[in-house]
Amino acid sequence: MTNDTETTTETGALMSAEAFALLGGGQLAYVKPIRSEDVKALFPKAPSIEPGLMLFALHGADGTPIMLADSREAVVANAIQNELQAVSVH
């Protein structure tokens, strides 16, 4: 069983939130598809968005939301501009 500050990897090892934050030396971010209905949970200050849209969020390695866009290309471009290596998660 894990708690909110630990995550189990594919090999069964535990990684703390701090370990994820350090993953990639602060240079790693991930791109994740997100439904417009879920935006407020990650981006509380975001304006209301029409339901039923597929958007893309850029997160730091520790899961911190960085940005939201309507295309994967836009979030990858933002990662590159900020010297982050973007990877995709499903």
Q: What pLDDT does residue 10 have?
A: 54
Average pLDDT, the chain: 81
Please return the burial class of 51, using the count of CB atoms within 10 Å of its CB with bins 0-12, 13-18 and 19+: exposed
pLDDT tens digits, 56-74: 999 988 888 999 999 999 9
pLDDT tens digits, 19-40: 655 655 567 888 999 999 999 9
Q: Is 27 left (phi over 0), alpha (psi -120 to 50) or beta?
A: alpha
5 pLDDT more than 60: no
**In the structure, what pLDDT confidence band is assigned to residue 55 with cuts at 50, 70 and 90?**
very high
**In the structure, what pLDDT confidence band is assigned to residue 86 with cuts at 50, 70 and 90?**
confident
